[in-house]
A and B are shown apart, each in its own frame.
Chain A
Amino acid sequence: KQEVTQIPAALSVPEGENLVLNCSFTDSAIYNLQWFRQDPGKGLTSLLLIQSSQREQTSGRLNASLDKSSGRSTLYIAASQPGDSATYLCAVFSGSARQLTFGSGTQLTVLP
């Protein structure tokens, strides 16, 4: 059974800092990995999608990497802003199971 772990559970940083969120998964037989953002009481917003054959994806100030063999992904946020404050969720898609398995998220607070 696939298990996804995100560290840290919560993170508070001053504005402008670069930061890294971590995600690990137990079964490396994944199809892809997706990073989401969730604001309080809202749905999920997709940030980046990395296919199993890819090593990284970039969008603006966000960069996500994937090391399938070691079961790890990182989300790098450059020059953080207060508007980045949200919960960040990592999810892996296993083709055989046909479902996303989510981590419990990292709650990020960026202080002005």
Chain B
Amino acid sequence: KAGVTQTPRYLIKTRGQQVTLSCSPISGHRSVSWYQQTPGQGLQFLFEYFSETQRNKGNFPGRFSGRQFSNSRSEMNVSTLELGDSALYLCASSRERDDYGYTFGSGTRLTVV
């Protein structure tokens, strides 16, 4: 059974550019969440999607956005990149019911220079 797949694994971007990260959830999982992990702030919630609808959003600026497709795959986009956006971005998927817990992908390491 395939796990949560995130692409690409590594990215290097320049300040001011934009970036799109992709996440394919476990087959049958309809909820996809995104988290940012930095040494200073730890793991912080970005947003959660279910059936192509954003159900919840964390406390991040509007430069961070996302979407979910009909096959449950999700993308997140960061526009006008800043140095502080350098982080490990993790995607997690879960089944429709919340009591099954979350499965995380390996993450995308974004470096902004």
A positions within 8 Å CB-CB of B: 31-32, 34, 36, 41-46, 49, 51, 89, 91, 93, 95, 97-105
Contacts and interface: CB of A to CB of B under 8 A. Distances in A.
**Nearest 4 interchain pairs by C-beta:** A49-B101, A44-B104, A102-B43, A43-B106
B103 interface: yes
B24 interface: no
Q: Which of A91, A98, A102 gathers most chain B CB within 10 Å?
A: A98
A93 B98 CA distance: 9
Contacts of B107: 42-43
Contacts, number: 58
Nearest to B41: A104
A50 to B, nearest CB: 9
B21 interface: no
Contacts of B43: 89, 91, 100, 102
B17 to A, nearest CB: 23
Contacts of A105: 42
Nearest to B48: A98
Contacts of A101: 45
Contact of B98 (A31, A36, A41, A46): A31
